Structure 1
């Protein structure tokens, strides 16, 4: 399954709060969710809650900040369908692919991208995207014209269009969408944030047609 263009990153949310938060995101048109394992206990708890509550048609659910092979197994057991790594770890990516798990690896250099392409990776996370210059992102298209880039780190509704025009067409959004440690009481603001991101993407999609 291919990712959609907007991915919500959920970090340090309590499992009892995560379902209403994600219901709010889905209501606003965001149905891809990465649950970060920066707090493994909370993250795996949230994954299980979401996998139990939503069908795979309703929600494309995976885990980020995956660092070890044992975490891959934990993610699959909890109901996650893909993993995202914070940086490039060739052996970890190979192990995930061997299990049939889609991987969106964090990469930053042409060497890392070349190794990932060799493994058949199609989607790449550039983190932090706000540390990459416009000229650098354009230059990556020279040797790698077919790669699909997901920008993570500093994406806002105001700058999303700028990155889109640099061929970054997928966006992982953290605290500017769902604040770290958010609760269900934050849902009105989260939905307002989601509306802004969806509107920004719709605008650049319209210009791209």
Structure 2
């Protein structure tokens, strides 16, 4: 049985991940390469069609060559777990918290990242042994939600998804989010420069905190 502590090496030190939804094989491969070249360690391919499965398989293959990790998203049934594993997914992402999917993923040896949007969701996730959770939709929840939720759940690491790009990602990272997810920003040269700056700024914050003390971010 796997532990969701496995997410730490999956995301590496990068505070950003990429979500490539419904982009087809060629576009997914191109944007995954853009993300990896930028310094983003993890890419998610939502699994909603046969074309998505083919894209996941190819991106996962290329990611393995570069030592990068690729996850399968929009996992809403237990049946999808075997499909995702066969295509090379290193982790699973769901829009909501389904205990059956969480337990099945844990039993199959692949870490699950279920979605939460309330303290009750977070508490149920913790009860299932999870310390990494996806907060969705992040822009609807707002950055302050993360500041408040860290009080009762200081051990939880959050991945924020939904409506995020280079213009607002820093606000969520400063509020305690461990990883923010972007998508179309990878096709915008202006945003690419901002994302590169964000990754560099996070490296600087990490280096400074190693001297000054623990990071404020979980």
| TM-score bucket (shorter structure) | 0.7 to 0.9
1:173 paired with 2:182, answer yes
What's the counterpart of residue 204 of structure 2? 206
1:49 paired with 2:47, answer no
Residues 99-131 of structure 1 show CA distances to partners (whole Å, capped at 9, x for unaligned) of 111111100111111111122212111111111
Q: Which consecutive residues of structure 2, in runs of 5 or more, have no partner in the other structure? A: 1-5, 209-218
Residues 26-72 of structure 1 show CA distances to partners (whole Å, capped at 9, x for unaligned) of 112123100012x3212110111123333265211111111111111
The more displaced of 15-24 and 156-165 is 15-24
Runs of 4+ aligned residues of structure 1 deviating over 3 Å after TM superposition are: 189-195
Does the 8 A contact of 1:28 with 1:191 survive in 2? Answer: no
| 3-state SS of 2:125 partner | helix
- Residue 159 (structure 2) aligned to one of 150, 154, 159: 150
Q: Which consecutive residues of structure 1, in runs of 5 or more, have no partner in the other structure? A: 178-188
TM-score for both structures, normalised by structure 2? 0.82
Q: What is the CA–CA distance in structure 1 between the aligned matches of 2:37 and 2:60, rounded to whole Å?
A: 17
1:15 paired with 2:25, answer yes
Higher RCO structure, 1 or 2 (CA under 8 Å, sep 6+): 1
Q: What is the CA–CA distance in structure 2 between the aligned matches of 1:139 and 1:6, rounded to whole Å?
A: 22
Alpha carbons of structure 1 residues 72 and 24: separation in structure 2 relative to 1, 3 Å: same
TM-score for both structures, normalised by structure 1? 0.85
What's the counterpart of residue 38 of structure 2? 28
Does the 8 A contact of 1:24 with 1:191 survive in 2? Answer: no
CA RMSD of aligned residues (A): 2.0
Q: What is the CA–CA distance in structure 2 between the aligned matches of 1:191 and 1:27, rounded to whole Å?
A: 14
- Residue 130 (structure 2) aligned to one of 116, 121, 129: 121
How many equivalent pairs are there? 197
